[in-house]
Amino acid sequence: MNQTDHRPINESKPLRAPAGQSRRRFLSQVTAALATGTVLGKLPRAAAQSSDVGIGLSARSSDPRLKQSYAIRVAAAKRESLIPAAPHTTNGDEERYADKCGTYTKGILQDGIGLVNLNAYQSFRDAINSGNFADFEKVITGGPRTMNGPLGGRAFALEGSDDVQFGDAPSPANQINQVVVPPPPALASETYGTELVELYWASLLRDVAFADYATDPLAKQAADELSRMPSYLGPRDGRGKVTPDLLFRGTYPGDALGPYLSQFQLQPTYMGAQPMSQQVVTFLPGVDYMTDPTTFQQVQNGIDTGAPLQFDAKPRYLHDARGLCSFTHVDVLFQAYFTAYLVLGSMGAPLNPGNPYAFSTKQNGFGTFGGPDIAATLTAAGRHALNSVWYQKWWVHLRHRPESGGAIVRQILTGAGNTLAGRVNDNVLNSRAVQTSASKFGDYFLAQSFPEGSPAHPAYPTGHGAVAGACITVLKFFFDGTFVLPNPMVSSSDGLSLLPYTGADAGQLTVSGELNKLANNVSFGHGILAGIHWRTDTSSSIQLGEAVAISMLQDRAATYA
């Protein structure tokens, strides 16, 4: 990419792969082998033999490039193998409650609100313990909804650290000196209750424009209640208060500056020759789901309630929580970060000063350190981060979704709490958020943005957050994070136009800060704002994604000429 050219980024035309009979035969054979397990069954033997085979080939080869290629691969494997497996500590709720009310059981056959059928749960636990595809096929489910790719958490990667090397410890080998994935708050903890209070407020503010938070009475009530909660983990001002403008923001550098939405979700750009306004199709306001016992229980059993999503006929710029919910409901894995890459190119953001081509007058990066490399690395990092977080979700934590927490609140407040082994903290039971929600919806369930509620996989950490952490780390690797973004914008309260942002901090919106904000916008949009993830799901997942990306980039950097 030519950094002095502010026109749309121009990638070369992709090479068309040959589609001959030999290629088709190869693909069909591999697919059949994977389906029958014959390839997977041979992997351990192949892995055991690979070192000897490689040494033999290397010794016979006189080509220096082949020897160098072999040495790079071996060095990467050795370096990664020296990183110890991290401890993986859960919050203990699965063992603590015999009825599994504090554990993820969505889609498994349910006996009542918050109560999984224990025989069905054992079939689920047996599948996790074995890790066998066939055992997941035997899980006793309550309806036709399928589990969302649990075996992705057992996939391996050929770049970067293995999933088991990230956990309840720092990751110093990957430059992360804080705990990457601590245990999430336990069901009965004060922090759990506070996170649930935040979620109830978010459900009540879905249709209030972010630009109007400062003057909205409900936003003020939310900020006041969260300010009084010592265990609230969101940002506060210099006086220790949560202000309306700080609601549902992250705590990384740049998160609290400027408009709520990152410039990378607002600024127009191009995808090649195609103009991109960044307007989106959003859900209609005022339509929420799973606020009654019947539909709640149908969803927990994996049964379609028949309630449709309802869409606004007018495309709008992102401007409120419901818009972010609609974006993250169907976004492509790395979509927001690929768009950010396009915006960076359109505005002429400079390369990272460490890029060898940053100041070259004779060459520019392309397949390495250039546009195609950036685009491809984003997708690779996203996939690696997704499988890493899937390992944590399915094979370690099994944290239940906020909708399940809301059901426990509902059972307790309607006098049915004695049906459950677990109890939540009084800070949520006595909260103004829960009472305001009940007044609006007629019950104590946590209102959801989507008819199906959360995806059919455990909550902690979040996939959107892990991919976000990985992808923004890739962009920081390639671009100058200190560059101040020109001409910042803010969406109008109705989302129909963009307006110049003229706040006092308009000159402080940097690439790194707005990427941090983008990560939280997307992860909270699919999380707190939609009602399907906890705040700590996002904070831990972004750290995990960052560590995964650094490990991958360290291996990849050794391959650059």
Contact between 404 and 106 (Cβ < 8 Å): yes
Q: DSSP assignment of 270-287, as one string? A: EETTEEE---B--BPTT-
Q: Among residues of the chain, what percentage have pLDDT more than 70? A: 89
Count of domains observed in the chain: 1
* Res. 42: pLDDT tops 60: no
Confidence of residue 60 (pLDDT cuts 50, 70, 90): low
pLDDT tens digits, one per residue of 395-417: 999 999 999 999 999 999 999 99
* Res. 44: pLDDT tops 90: no
Could you tell me the CA-to-CA distances from 133 to 34, 40, 398 in Å, in that order?
12, 11, 18
Measured CA to CA, the distance from residue 496 to residue 481 in angstroms comes to 30
Measured CA to CA, the distance from residue 117 to residue 94 in angstroms comes to 14
SS3 labels along 188-203: CCHHHHHHHHHHHHHH
The CATH number of whichever domain residue 396 belongs to comes to 1.10.606.10
Measured CA to CA, the distance from residue 40 to residue 379 in angstroms comes to 25
Q: How far is CA 525 from the centre of its chain?
A: 10
Q: What is the mean pLDDT of residues 295-305?
A: 99
Angle, helix 38-60 to helix 64-81, in steps of 10 degrees: 130
Query: What is the structure's pLDDT at 114?
Result: 98
pLDDT tens digits, one per residue of 441-463: 999 999 999 999 999 999 999 99
For 5, the domain range is 1-561
SS3 labels along 488-522: CEEECCCCCCEEECCCCCHHHCEHHHHHHHHHHHH
pLDDT tens digits, one per residue of 186-217: 999 999 999 999 999 999 999 999 999 999 99
* Res. 15: pLDDT tops 80: no
pLDDT tens digits, one per residue of 474-499: 999 999 999 999 999 999 999 999 99
Let me know if 247 is exposed, middle or buried by CB neighbors in 10 A (0-12, 13-18, 19+): buried
CA atoms within 13 A on the CB side of 39: 9
Q: What is the mean pLDDT of residues 222-227?
A: 99
- Token pair 């068309």: residue: 16
Give residues with Cβ within 8 angstroms of 205, minimum separation 6: 213, 216, 218, 219, 222, 247, 321
Contact between 532 and 462 (Cβ < 8 Å): no
Residue scoring higher pLDDT (47 or 276): 276
* Res. 300: pLDDT tops 50: yes
Let me know if 406 is exposed, middle or buried by CB neighbors in 10 A (0-12, 13-18, 19+): buried
Q: Of the candidates 360, 369, 367, which has an alpha carbon nearest to the alpha carbon of residue 474?
A: 369
Q: DSSP assignment of 308-371, as one string? A: PP-B-SS-B---BHHHHHHHHHH--TTHHHHHHHHHHHHTTPPBPTTSTTTT-SS---BTTBSH
Query: What is the structure's pLDDT at 61?
Result: 74
Measured CA to CA, the distance from residue 424 to residue 275 in angstroms comes to 49
Q: How far is CA 262 from the centre of its chain?
A: 16
What SS3 state is found at 266?
A: coil
